[in-house]
């Protein structure tokens, strides 16, 4: 179906269904319950991040997963995409279509230039080159060097770029929405479904982002299964044989780099479409590092791993950082006081601002015990299940029914 | 006029004259062996032929076209394939994918952006790949990951990858180096079969005299970067100069 084999198609359907029902799946607890307050993740701002960062890491995985080239500056393309989108809002109107299109194009152009230079080297040198480019772009954006050069505003430096009332917005008609919208469909408007103690929020912005993520996921499956994808894996495996087989590795690498840069640009454009302001910090090297961590945590080179990694990290970032000592005391209220206090003292460093500590421990555990990322956990479970099944089949065969 | 014409090649590495005025002519549809003691310049010559090294002077013509200054992938596209001393294969890919890739390179050239098409729909490529795997008796191993194979099988796979492109000249760099006796015999047989079946022109660099004398139709002896003599295997065996330079140590 859709040019996919049955296994990939099933996977694709599962991802579609998860995206469609995410507002329900991620809100398993009643709103008013203490569990709901702490663990419900089905609110639009977070769900948007799940799918947008999922999309970003899917693109990153086409480069890193297939070719093994570790780009340490991918956040630069994300930032460039965001700036391009906000500029479209400033110049044209709040319609997200031109914003998203331009963000992809601009990120593509930047990745052609950066890729062309960085791909002259491989391995660690390639990573360092991409990091250097990204940090240069961050500095330029943060101090708005380009703007200062021309006596105008391009990235608006530390303040960040946003839309002001006196911006041209030449396509803005009377009565048009003054928030990002898709031909009148406002991104931040939502339908809330209340049932019992539960509340499920279905937001336009989330569904637009999810649609793009699903499309991006579909494209990545096609690339993985194409001759082009096979060539990229061949590059990872043996570049010497590649060139002695009559294949030019450079254009293959550059194509992979630009595709993944455009994914990042799209993600940046979507971030701006959800919230029409952006700043240079989106391009900082820690943001690039986060992308790498997401990919490795989920499972490099797998189809779903990147989405999973992005989801887990965004979930931890938002959920674990929200937990504080008083919430913990609430949970442990049934225990004797000394035990309650002891537990809270132990857990304290890992919650709130300490969520990075939790992430670090999780990351270490995954890298050591599951080098294939969280996806490997799934594989191990299925292997276990299969073995049980075949064992059953064997015993069934040796003890024939009378 | 041979298919490969090497004229007056010189190559210096600092103070070392690796190749001095090398002339070589490989006739179409022959097996031409290049032998010589360690340090004779065999590997340097091979690297010049495939575009890895650029000589200081001289010319290398393949089928009337110069190969000098061209990149390895361009030289391959001209019709020269190379088998390495240690097999260079795509270790992380399956055996079948390993032979599909050269088929794509042959059909689509050095680069083609076929990112949306499914590999499974490439029936012609799959047929070609399957046929060559059957030729080298590896059809049953097609789904194996290449790195899991024995060294002998890796060598066969590499040969298959070269042969599936139907090269006009096959360069072999010590194809039996470091192999056990049985594997060496197998490789000789494989090369003989290829020769009988496809009539591919081959240039072999080899240490093992057994391999050389069972395959070669012409032999060039290199010593200290210069061709000493070029002749048929029968004449080479008894040649006093060759004995002195090289074969004196070996039992023939």
**pLDDT higher than 70, residue A398:** no
CATH of the domain at B213: 3.40.50.300
Residue B5 placed within a domain: yes
In this structure, is residue B195 part of a structural domain? yes
- Mean pLDDT for B31-37 is 89
Residues in chain A whose Cβ is within 8 Å of chain B: 3, 5, 222-223, 225-231, 233-234, 236-238, 240-249, 251-252, 255, 259
- Domain identity same for B206 and B187: yes
pLDDT in tens, A1-49: 788 889 999 999 999 999 999 999 998 888 888 788 888 888 899 999 9
B222 with B246, same domain: the answer is yes
Residue B95 domain-assigned (yes or no)? yes
List the single range of A6-10, A53-57, A377-381, B104-108 with lowest mean pLDDT: A377-381
Answer yes or no: is B115 within a domain: yes
Q: Determine whether the interchain pair A226/B106 forms a contact, defined as Cβ–Cβ distance below 8 Å.
A: no
Average pLDDT over residues A53-66: 96
Co-location of B100 and B225 in the same domain: no
- Co-location of B18 and B56 in the same domain: yes
In a shared domain, residues B20 and B138: no
Q: Which of B166, B181, B209 is the last residue of a domain?
A: B166
User: Which residues on A lie below 8 Å from B154 (Cβ)?
Assistant: none
pLDDT exceeding 90 applies to what percent of chain A? Answer: 61
Residue A254: the pLDDT is 97
Q: Enter the pTM of the model.
A: 0.91
User: Are B115 and A229 within 8 A, CB to CB?
Assistant: yes
Check residue B249 and give its pLDDT. Answer: 53
Specify the CATH number for A6-309; select among 1.10.1060, 1.10.3470, 3.40.50, 1.10.287.
Answer: 1.10.3470
Which of A227, A245, A255 lies closest to B102 in CB terms?
A: A245
ipTM for this prediction = 0.90
Q: Which of B150, B166, B182 is the last residue of a domain?
A: B166
Q: How many helices (H) and strands (E) does chain B have?
A: 9, 10
Nearest CA in chain B to A223: B115
Pair B120, B136 in one domain = yes
Q: Which of A223, A234, A251 sits opposite B101 (nearest CB)?
A: A234
Give chain B positions within 8 Å (CB) of A234: 90, 93, 97, 101
Helices (H) and strands (E) in chain A, counts: 17, 6
Flag whether pLDDT at A286 surpasses 90. Answer: yes
Q: Which residues form the domain of B37?
A: 1-79+169-252
> Is A402's pLDDT higher than 70?
no
- C-alpha dist (Å) from residue A194 to A24, A199, A201: 11, 5, 9
- Nearest-Cα distance to chain B for A235, in Å, is 9
What is the predicted pLDDT for the residue at B183? 82
Reported as a single tens digit per residue, the pLDDT across B222-237 is 888 888 888 888 888 7
Percent over 70 (pLDDT), chain B: 97
A399 has pLDDT over 50: no
How close B248 comes to chain A (CA, Å)? 36
Question: Averaged over B82-88, what is the pLDDT?
Answer: 91
Average pLDDT of chain A is: 90
Binned at pLDDT 50, 70 and 90, residue A227 comes out as very high
Q: Which residues in chain B are closer than 8 Å to A252, comparing Cβ atoms?
A: 111
Q: Who among A225, A230, A240 is closest to B88 (CB)?
A: A240
Which among A225, A237, A255 has the least Cβ separation from residue B118? Answer: A225
pLDDT of residue A177: 85
- Each residue's pLDDT tens digit, A150-193: 988 889 988 899 998 888 888 888 888 888 999 988 988 889 99
C-alpha distances in Å from residue A187, one per residue of A163, A350, B173, B226, B234: 16, 35, 64, 76, 85
Is residue B149, in this structure, part of any structural domain at all?
Answer: yes
Of the ranges A78-82, B13-17, B69-73, the best mean pLDDT one: A78-82
How do the domains of chain A map onto residue ranges? Answer: 6-309
**Confidence check: pLDDT of A314 > 70:** yes
For A251, the closest chain B residue by CA position comes to B111
Do B173 and B75 reside in the same domain of the chain?
Answer: yes
Is B29 inside any structural domain?
yes
Do B125 and B244 lie in a common domain?
no
- Shared domain for B131 and B232, answered yes or no, is no
CB contact under 8 A, A227 and B76: no
**Closest approach of B78 to chain A, Cα-based (Å):** 9
Whether B66 and B93 share a structural domain: no
Q: What pLDDT sits at residue A401?
A: 38
B145 → chain A, closest CA residue: A237
Name the residue in chain B with its Cα closest to that of A227: B119
pLDDT for residue A383 is more than 60: yes
Residues in A closer than 8 angstroms to B111, CB to CB, are 247-248, 251-252
- Please state, rounded to an integer, the average pLDDT across all residues of chain B: 88
Residue B252: pLDDT band with limits 50, 70, 90: very low
**Which of B81, B97, B161 has the CB atom closest to A230's CB atom?**
B97
Gyration radius from chain A CA atoms: 23
Contact B207, B177 (CB under 8 A): yes
Burial of A96 (0-12, 13-18, 19+ CB in 10 A): buried
Q: Is residue A283 within 8 Å of residue A125, measured between CB atoms?
A: no
Q: Looking at residue A389, what is its pLDDT?
A: 64
User: Residue A244: pLDDT above 50?
Assistant: yes
pLDDT for position B248:
52
Task: Tell me the CB-side half-sphere exposure of residue B76, using CA atoms within 13 A.
Answer: 28
Domain tally, chain B: 2
Residues B141 and B26 in one domain: no
Domain-embedded: residue B84: no
Which pairs with CB-CB distance under 8 Å and at least 24 residues apart come from A196-203? A196/A30, A197/A30, A197/A31, A197/A32, A197/A33, A197/A36, A198/A27, A198/A30, A198/A31, A199/A27, A199/A31, A200/A23, A200/A24, A200/A27, A200/A42, A201/A23, A201/A42, A201/A43, A201/A44, A202/A23, A203/A23, A203/A44, A203/A47, A203/A48
What residues of chain B lie within 8 A of the CB of A259, using their CB?
Answer: 115
Both B189 and B69 in one domain: the answer is yes
């Amino acid at each position: 179906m859709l040019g996919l084999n049955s296994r990939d198609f099933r996977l694709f359907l599962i991802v579609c269904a998860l995206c469609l029902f995410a507002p329900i799946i991620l809100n398993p607890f009643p709103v008013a319950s203490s569990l709901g307050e702490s663990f419900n993740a089905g609110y639009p701002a977070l769900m948007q991040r799940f799918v947008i960062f999922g999309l970003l890491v899917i693109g990153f995985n086409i480069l890193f997963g297939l070719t093994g080239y570790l780009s340490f500056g991918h956040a630069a393309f994300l930032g460039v995409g965001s700036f391009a989108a906000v500029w479209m809002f400033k110049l044209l109107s709040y319609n997200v279509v031109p914003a998203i299109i331009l963000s992809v194009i601009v990120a593509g152009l930047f990745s052609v230039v950066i890729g062309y230079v960085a791909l002259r080297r491989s391995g660690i040198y390639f990573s360092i080159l991409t990091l250097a480019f990204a940090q240069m772009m961050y500095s330029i954006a943060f101090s708005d060097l380009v703007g200062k050069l021309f006596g105008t505003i391009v990235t608006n430096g530390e303040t960040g770029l946003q839309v002001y009332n006196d911006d041209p917005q030449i396509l803005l008609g009377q009565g048009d929405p003054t928030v990002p919208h898709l031909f009148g469909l406002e991104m931040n408007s939502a339908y809330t479904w209340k049932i019992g103690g539960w509340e499920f929020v279905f937001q336009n912005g989330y569904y637009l982002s999810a649609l793009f993520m699903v499309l991006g996921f579909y494209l990545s499956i096609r690339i993985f299964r194409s001759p082009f994808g096979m060539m990229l894996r061949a590059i990872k495996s043996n570049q010497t044989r590649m060139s002695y087989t009559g294949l030019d590795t450079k254009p293959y690498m550059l194509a992979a780099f630009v595709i993944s840069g455009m994914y990042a640009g799209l993600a940046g454009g979507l971030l701006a479409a959800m919230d029409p302001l952006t700043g240079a910090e989106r391009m900082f090297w820690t943001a690039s590092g986060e992308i790498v961590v997401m990919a490795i945590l989920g499972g490099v080179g797998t189809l779903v791993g990147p989405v999973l990694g992005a989801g887990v990290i965004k979930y931890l970032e938002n959920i674990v950082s929200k937990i504080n000592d008083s919430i913990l005391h609430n949970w442990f209220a049934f225990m004797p006081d000394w035990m309650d206090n002891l537990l809270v003292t132990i857990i304290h460093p890992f919650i709130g601002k300490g969520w990075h500590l939790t992430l670090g421990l999780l990351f270490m555990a995954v890298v050591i015990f599951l080098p294939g990322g969280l996806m490997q956990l799934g594989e191990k479970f299925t292997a276990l299940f299969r073995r049980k099944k075949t064992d059953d089949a064997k015993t069934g065969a040796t003890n024939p029914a009378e | 006029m041979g298919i490969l014409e090497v004229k007056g090649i010189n190559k210096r590495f600092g103070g070392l004259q690796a190749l001095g005025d090398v002339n070589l002519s490989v006739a179409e549809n022959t097996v031409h062996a290049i032998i010589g003691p360690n340090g004779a310049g065999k590997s340097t010559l091979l690297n010049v032929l495939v575009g890895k090294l650029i000589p200081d002077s001289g010319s290398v013509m393949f089928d009337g076209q110069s190969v000098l200054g061209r990149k390895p992938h361009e030289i391959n596209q001209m019709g020269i394939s190379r088998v390495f001393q240690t097999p260079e294969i795509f270790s992380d890919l399956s055996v079948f994918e390993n032979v599909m890739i050269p088929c794509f390179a042959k059909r689509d050239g050095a680069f083609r952006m076929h990112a949306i098409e499914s590999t499974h729909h490439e029936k012609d490529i799959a047929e070609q790949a399957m046929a060559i795997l059957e030729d080298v008796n590896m059809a049953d191993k097609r789904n194996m990951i290449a790195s899991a194979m024995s060294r002998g099988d890796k060598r066969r796979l590499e040969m298959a990858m070269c042969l599936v492109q139907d090269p006009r000249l096959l360069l072999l760099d010590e194809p039996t180096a470091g192999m056990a006796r049985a594997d060496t015999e197998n490789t000789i047989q494989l090369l003989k079969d290829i020769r009988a079946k496809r009539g591919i022109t081959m240039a072999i660099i080899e240490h093992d005299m057994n391999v050389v004398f069972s395959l070669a139709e012409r032999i060039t002896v290199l010593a200290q970067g210069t061709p000493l003599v070029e002749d048929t295997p029968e004449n080479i065996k008894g040649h006093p100069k060759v004995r002195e330079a090289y074969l004196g140590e070996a039992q023939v």
